Amino acid sequence: MTGKLDLEVIAVDEPEMVVRDADIVATCTDSARTVFDEPEWLKEGSHLTCVRACEIGPKVLKRCDLSLKLGKNTIEAMDEGMVRLHGNVGYIAGQPEERSRIPNPVVDNYRGDHFKYFMDFKAGKVPGRTSDKQITFFINAGTQGLQFAACAGKVYQLAKEKGVGRELPTEWFLQDIGD
């Protein structure tokens, strides 16, 4: 990656080696477990972000002075009444016993009043950082993968412009059975 990015990239064995003295900590893993939960590793004024709700632990979250999230995850926002009313939503997301087997635990620390919504921050309803010593946190929850669709759209556009790749038949991505 050093050659591709033209900057120094160093592989390390322990998360502490990455987090200590970092201005920005971004956990972008496929881990179903907490990556780190040691607030003493954090540098004053650092910014944290993660992709999965379990990557950053509760002690670190409590240490953050300002915590924002983009929105509510679909499954987090669903209640059983909604599943009964809109059966397809429950079917697509899975029934409660099916959702419980997904190795991406719902972390209660990412719910409640501790987190403010990004749109409220953008609208001026929630103050931002008031000191450069504050530690801030942003979780990219509630997009339902919109960022991946946006990137894929741009990649598709550029590939078409350059005449690379090949068209795949739409039928490959359709299914006419309900199970």
pLDDT digits (tens, 9 = 90+) for 3-46: 998 999 888 888 999 999 899 999 888 777 888 999 999 999 99
**CA-CA-CA-CA torsion for 140, 143, 149, 153, nearest 10 degrees?**
-90
Instruction: Note down the domain range covering 74.
Output: 2-150
Q: How far apart are CA 92 and CA 87, in angstroms?
A: 9
Q: Tokens in use for 145?
A: 């993968």
Quick one: pLDDT band at residue 90, thresholds 50, 70, 90? very low
Residue type, 126: V
Average pLDDT over residues 132-149: 80
165 is a domain residue:
no
Quick one: pLDDT band at residue 1, thresholds 50, 70, 90? confident
158 is a domain residue:
no
Helix (H, G, I), strand (E, B), or coil: what is residue 127?
A: coil
155 is a domain residue:
no
174 is a domain residue:
no
Select, from the ranges 79-93, 115-129, 142-156, the one with the highest average predicted confidence (pLDDT). Answer: 115-129
Q: How far apart are CA 159 and CA 54, in angstroms?
A: 35
Q: What CATH number corresponds to the domain at position 121? A: 3.40.50.720
Residue type, 78: M
Chain centroid offset of residue 67 CA: 13
68 is a domain residue:
yes
Instruction: Report CA-CA distances (Å) from 83 to 21, 76, 77, 144, 179.
Output: 45, 12, 11, 18, 18
What domain count does the chain have? Answer: 1
Half-sphere exposure of 127 (CA within 13 A, CB side): 5
User: Which one is predicted more confidently, 133 or 146?
Assistant: 133
pTM higher than 0.85: no
How high is the mean pLDDT of the chain?
Answer: 80
40 is a domain residue:
yes
171 is a domain residue:
no
The yes-or-no verdict on residue 177 having pLDDT over 90 is no
CA-closest candidate to residue 37, choices 12, 8, 67, 16: 16
179 is a domain residue:
no
Half-sphere exposure of 92 (CA within 13 A, CB side): 9
